Amino acid sequence: MLTTSIQTAEVVYAHSGNPEDYDVLRKNGISVKGKIVLVRYSNPYSYRGFKALTAEREGAAALLVYSDPAEDGSARGKVFPDGPWGPESHIQRGSITYDYIVPGDPTTPGWASVPGAKHIAPEEARSLPKIVALPLSWRDAKPLLENMSGPEAPKDWQGALPITYRFTGAVKVHVKVDMDNSMQPYTVVEARIRGSEFPDEWVLLGNHRDAWVFGGVDPSSGTASMMELTRSLGELKQRGVRPRRTIVVCSWDGEEYALTGSTEWGEQFADDLKKKLVAYLNVDESVAGAATTAGPEGLSFSPAAVASLAPMLVEASKDVRAPSGKSLYEAWRATAMRDSKASAPPLDSALVETRIGSGSDHTVFLNHLGRPVINLGFTGDYGVYHSMYDDHYWMVHIGDPAFEYHVALARIWGLVALRLANSDILPFDFGFNASALEKFLRELEQNNNVERRRLSLKRLHARIAEFEKAGILLRDAVARGLQAGSLSPEKVRRLNEQLLQVESNWLDPAGIPGRPWFQHLLYSSRYTYAHLEFPGLTEAVEKQDWKLAREQAALLEKAVEKNTKLLRSSQSLWEKNKQ
């Protein structure tokens, strides 16, 4: 069904369209009620769906989002076709669904959108915007901005166009949007190699297939790496080499709308996945950066992983060659040092980003099903995201002309998958997991004024310290057992079962306050897609709702304590029968 929406109103420039930007407007006596708001994409990235929700809450009639050259265009460097940045006509398309509240088909929140499923009315769907919005290039936004006659906007609101950016004045626009609301099928393509010894333990790999236009980087760089990886796994299988655990590979559809294919697939097979999924390894863009402008150290390797899997990722990187000829581990340390402008490379413990936001297909597996995830990719200069210039030409001439980063990514992805699929003992490190939790908690306290008399986090710190100790003791006991050799398969099987249970114990079926679909107690995302640790506790502290904060801290204490007990019992079982 086609619906048409027409709005004609005065334009107000609202900087990045974040709540604090509207506060600035209010202080200047400007309301956006009934107006058409013009905002720009922001740096650092904030999901456009948050700009839409904010404009909707402010009562705007429509939203226009444009790409200012300050963010991803000529102010950053050479533009397409001479360089990686966005030219004057590039339009960053993109969804504005409120999928940070609940992703997937907006009319089936929390259950699978399969033939015959119950659908709620679109008016009841919390993830559907009630405001119309359009993306613009700066070429199309410039006439609106330069013809304004009202008060000058503050210095930090000025962009890179050679004009004075103003709040308002003398510019009216007519926005007409034709929206196709019909229901269309999505196809998730799935392949699997049955494990030879533990067919009911799955290692899942995935990448989305849908693109806004050509998708040279997003997602086809990831898809190219995935095709090469699946070809290699197929060749191994033909030679009779089968993984011990089952490897499942999915090509997701509809990621760009609301993480739709992966979310619905995850909801459809939730019971199996909760029991069987060892880890999900996501690649969205394998090469989102220009090797031709990256300098001698090359593109940055920028993976993110749940803390329990971070040490194994660092280990695996030592056995992969980077395009520079060094090991991926050495290249990773060098680019991390360069990017942070530090004088020495970071410690191994700081290499992996263990804070995980949303915005890609890992979301359902981590946040809804409580399974561990890893995201892999290379990054660098890239200003044509979601535009028609994100194409094969960009990749071949600017991004990765030799496709060597694509190959490196396929190698690390495959190696991590095979280690998870073949290891005797699953390579989770809960001692390291605990140290990351302690770091998150200290950050929470530093970033907020936590009033001790209102909320004491002492007990939570203590519980995390016990968890850390139990994790280290178990790790050492397992290492001793492995060195002594001759392990009974039954003993190993039971230990792995318990290790998988630890990750499940972070799930709270009630979900975080206000967002029941997001059930992970440690990880969620903000409405901007930015990472958010201890989501229930952090949001309560930020609102200064101390009663809720105490409840959330108690939930965390309970979950950490449960996992400490689990690790202790795993250790005593492991040490009991020496065989």
Which long-range contacts link 349-353 to residues 24+ away (Cβ below 8 Å)?
Answer: 349/310, 349/432, 349/435, 351/310, 351/314, 352/303, 352/304, 352/305, 352/310, 352/313, 352/314, 353/302, 353/303, 353/304, 353/305
List interacting residues with Zn ion (CB under 5 A).
218-219, 284
In angstroms, give the least distance from the CB of 284 to Zn ion: 4
In angstroms, give the least distance from the CB of 219 to Zn ion: 4
Sheet with 277-282, side-by-side order of all strands: 189-193, 245-252, 198-208, 277-282, 373-375, 304-305
492, containing H or E segment: helix 489-504
Measured from the CB atom, the residue of 21 and 284 that comes closer to Zn ion is 284
3-state secondary structure of 109: coil
Q: What is the DSSP letter of 68?
A: -
In angstroms, give the least distance from the CB of 42 to Zn ion: 19
Measured from the CB atom, the residue of 224 and 336 that comes closer to Zn ion is 224
CA 496 – CA 428 distance, rounded (Å): 10
Measured from the CB atom, the residue of 208 and 475 that comes closer to Zn ion is 208
Catalytic residue among 255, 256, 533, 561: 255
Residues sharing a CB contact under 8 Å with residue 113, sequence separation 6 or more, in sequence order: 104, 105, 107, 119, 260, 264
Q: Is position 255 annotated as part of the catalytic site?
A: yes
Measured from the CB atom, the residue of 84 and 219 that comes closer to Zn ion is 219
Measured from the CB atom, the residue of 50 and 202 that comes closer to Zn ion is 50
In angstroms, give the least distance from the CB of 41 to Zn ion: 16
Measured from the CB atom, the residue of 54 and 92 that comes closer to Zn ion is 92
Closest among 258, 354, 259 to 310, alpha carbons compared: 354
Residues sharing a CB contact under 8 Å with residue 447, sequence separation 6 or more, in sequence order: none
In angstroms, give the least distance from the CB of 208 to Zn ion: 6
- 41 vs 92, 119, 138, CA distance in Å? 9, 33, 11
Residues sharing a CB contact under 8 Å with residue 70, sequence separation 6 or more, in sequence order: 40, 43, 159, 160
In angstroms, give the least distance from the CB of 237 to Zn ion: 28
Q: Which residues are catalytic?
A: 255
